[in-house]
Amino acid sequence: MLLERKILVVEDNEINRAALCVILSSQYTVLEAENGEQALSLLEKYREGISLILLDIVMPVMDGYTFLKHLKADHRLNSIPVIVTTSNNSEADEVAALSSGATDFIAKPYSAKVILHRAAGIIRLRETSALIHQIQYDRVTGVYSKEYFCQQVRDILLRNPDVKYDILCSDIEDFKLINDTFGMAAGDRLLRQVAELCTQRLGDHGVCGRLNADQFACLLEHRDDYADEMFTQADSRINHGFGDQNVIMKYGIYTVEDRDVSVEQMCDRALLAAHSIKGKYGRHFALYDDKLRGTLLRRQAITDGMETALATGQFEVYLQPKYQIRDGRLAGAEALVRWNHPEWGLQPPAEFIPIFERNGFITKLDQYVWERVCALMQSWDEKGYPRINISVNVSRMDIYNTNLVDLLTGIVQRHGLSPSRLHLEITESAYTDTSRQLIETLGTLRRLGFVIEMDDFGSGYSSLNMLTEMPIDVLKLDMKFIQTEITRPTGQGILRFIVDLARWMKLSVVAEGVETREQLERLQNDGCDYAQGYYFAKPMPVENFVLVLTAQAPPADINNSRSAGSADRMDRVLLVADEDKEYRAQMHRAFSDCFKVLEAASYEQAVKTLGNHPHQISAVILSLTLQGGADILTAIQKERGAWETPCVATGPLDMELERSAMELGAADYAAKPHNQESLRRRVLRAMSLHTLQARIQSLQDEDCRDTMTGLLNRRGLYTIAKSLRHESSSAVYLFELDGLKKFNEKYGYVEGDHLIFHFASLLRAHTRVDDVLVRLGGDEFLIVMSHISSMEVAHKKETAILRAYYESRYVDPDSVTCFAGTVLRNAEESLDEIIRRAREAMYAAKAGDKDEYFLRKG
């Protein structure tokens, strides 16, 4: 039989029991019990697997009435129908049996046909009732199912046209986290508590249903006095019943005004109100109003227009540059999408992406972006532009496309690209679904050469176990995580831990949302690899990104003489931003032989000029007494990138103003009044340093860079040695990690590599972007630091670096000691001579007691 039905015969007379078994066994599986006690034991074993009970009333040990009392008291068993069989065919006996909970009554002797018909009818009725119950009621909570709730609401509204009603919907915040943390059983228990509370509160004055997951809906008579206290009391009861956990409920209320609106739409509106206060502390309920109605209409308009927008090219790809933290060089970009609507204008992704993710259109949009990005990279390759990679978003819905692997490989092959050029960003929340398909799909893509990035790391509920299971290459730290973590003291947050963990797992780390120099320096100190954010550049149209991309070519050296030709002069633009007209005229005369000089007399003019010449301006002379002058300096650093345009600040002889200018990113400060020739040398020197840094950034060949730390190696140092000769008032530092071999033997070479990388990160954190950092050999590091005018200043920087090292968690005083030798640079000396003097100073330090040496310096 497709469905095995069991009937339990409870009869103390063996002959009667045998007769019933003969009648029923042709169609059913028969279980036998001699009395009520045996019957209860069998019920405990089979429970609702028993379809019907045939019960004698007069039995030893436990009679039929007592058995019925136990049966009806057990909620697990009380739905099983019972036919009472008895020799007494009196009306009183029949009434007594039915009153005790029996479903039917049959008198002895037995009629086979009657018993079979009665059994079949009752079993069919029970199964039909159970099926209806399953359709009408939610299996977990026992309240109405969504479909039956909507039907009931329609009926109530129809029967009571003059009564005003509200739809109240509730939503549990972070319900998935509750399931993940406490388990599905605990989550179901919480849902039952919510349902029980709803039904108790409503009583006979409304109906309640479960819409889906953690969302419930109630219909109740309208009231005007909703208050937070009503909902906080409900939350307290729920939390108390859930072990005093901090379960947060949000409620939305829709007053039924238009009864032509479907019940489903009424619930949507109430849920929209609930969602409008998600994440808002102290807000427990919200009413659906015209503002939310506008939001709903906006969603519908977006949905109605999305297909046309894709077909007519309204979606535009924007690119946000991504930079290497170690040297500030462009390393790639992230592809984002904007909707340039003919009526609404340019729409940000937050306006439409969440809607597309809900309705499934995101898969079409993602494929459009992938195709467009690959076409751009192919075009740039053909034009000889620097080769970069671009990250694209892959939604959770994309992952479950069975053709995803073929689709992506087809796109990169069609455009002649290596898969490694297309980085696939998948949000952290998608990774929380650790299905086999997700793991296998990403694993296949990774084996084919695609780079897999976990986006928004730190925004959700990641686990270390998840990181080890998932096939990923890059962690992208969430913007809010970066902004919060940066406020904590170095070494006291988890940023360093995450970076170290990524190193151990051989993952790169990208920080997004970097907005300040302080954030960048913290990321640099903690060893982060790449960064993107408004500090460097906002997302920009493709044509603007091309200017950034093509500006990566190493600029020509700047000649320090006045003999530059007219072509060179026109290629180099100097902006003079000063409130004094005569001063601007003097600067025009002083620099017109080697620059095209532009003038600005106000903050507005200066910003406009910078915006109109995004990559042509070679240097800026900026008066800090100009109204908004400091803001101009900040704008140069924030909007154009910290290393894009050298700026010489001018102002009165004021040490505090000079210090502030240098902190804001000025390359130099010239106190007024000043000699024009002196200012000319300052400007050209700043440009020379900028050119030097650009050359350092351009040294990407493995022969010029240390592969482990990203610093210049010895060959890279000698490659730029000529440029260093123009640098005066500089100091040269030589550091040695003495005892590195012993450290490797004690902890292993992997930890030794971590120590070297950590020390390189520490050097970056304590130097400026235009300083030269070199790894000379296995345990030796060299720094050439500009703007150092005395040994006293030089030793302060040396002490700061040594102190930072000895306070580092990597320090093992028994095996690795850091020594330093510092000298001031003499412009006539060769590089080898300077390094020799620095090494002698370092040996002198090693010859003394290291603790005494360090304390003396501190």
Residue 621: enclosing H or E segment and its boundaries?
A: strand 617-623
- Euclidean distance between CA atoms 137 and 148, whole angstroms: 8
Helix axes 184-202, 228-241, angle to 10 degrees: 140
What residues does 594 pair with on adjacent strands? none
Is the separation of the CB atoms in 56 and 16 below 8 Å? Answer: yes
Cα separation of the two ends of the chain: 90
Q: Which two tokens stand for residue 213?
A: 């997951």
What is residue 819's DSSP assignment?
A: E
Contacts for 238 with CB less than 8 Å, ≥ 6 apart: 190, 193, 194, 197, 247, 249
- Euclidean distance between CA atoms 458 and 480, whole angstroms: 8
Is the separation of the CB atoms in 252 and 272 below 8 Å? Answer: yes
Distance of CA 810 to the CA centre of its chain: 30
- Name the active-site residue from 512, 658, 736, 798: 512
DSSP letter for each residue of 730-741 = -EEEEEEEETHH
- Euclidean distance between CA atoms 34 and 70, whole angstroms: 17
- Euclidean distance between CA atoms 778 and 11, whole angstroms: 92
- Euclidean distance between CA atoms 327 and 693, whole angstroms: 9
- Euclidean distance between CA atoms 26 and 116, whole angstroms: 10
Sign of CA dihedral 691, 693, 698, 704: positive
Helix (H, G, I), strand (E, B) or coil at 605: helix
By DSSP bridging, strand 330-341 and strand 422-427 are unpaired
Q: Which two tokens stand for residue 597?
A: 């000089």
Contacts for 761 with CB less than 8 Å, ≥ 6 apart: 524, 525, 526, 527
- Euclidean distance between CA atoms 157 and 554, whole angstroms: 75
By DSSP bridging, strand 422-427 and strand 451-457 are parallel
* CA distances to 470, 528, 739 from 495, in Å: 21, 9, 28
Return the residue matching tokens 């600067």: 587
Helix (H, G, I), strand (E, B) or coil at 782: strand
- Euclidean distance between CA atoms 462 and 60, whole angstroms: 63
- Euclidean distance between CA atoms 93 and 98, whole angstroms: 9
Query: Does residue 582 have an active-site annotation?
Result: no
Q: Which two tokens stand for residue 491?
A: 């070494």
Question: Which residue, 85, 7, 81, 121, is CA-closest to 94?
Answer: 85
Is the separation of the CB atoms in 788 and 824 below 8 Å? Answer: yes
Is the separation of the CB atoms in 284 and 251 below 8 Å? Answer: yes
Helix (H, G, I), strand (E, B) or coil at 473: coil
- Euclidean distance between CA atoms 424 and 122, whole angstroms: 60
From the number of C-beta atoms within 10 Å of its C-beta (0-12, 13-18, 19+), residue 601 rates as: middle
- Euclidean distance between CA atoms 658 and 651, whole angstroms: 8
What residues does 86 pair with on adjacent strands? 107
* CA distances to 26, 29, 390, 643, 841 from 1, in Å: 11, 10, 61, 80, 95
Cα-trace Rg, the chain: 39
What residues does 453 pair with on adjacent strands? 425, 474
- Euclidean distance between CA atoms 559 and 575, whole angstroms: 19
The residues annotated with a catalytic role in the active site are 512
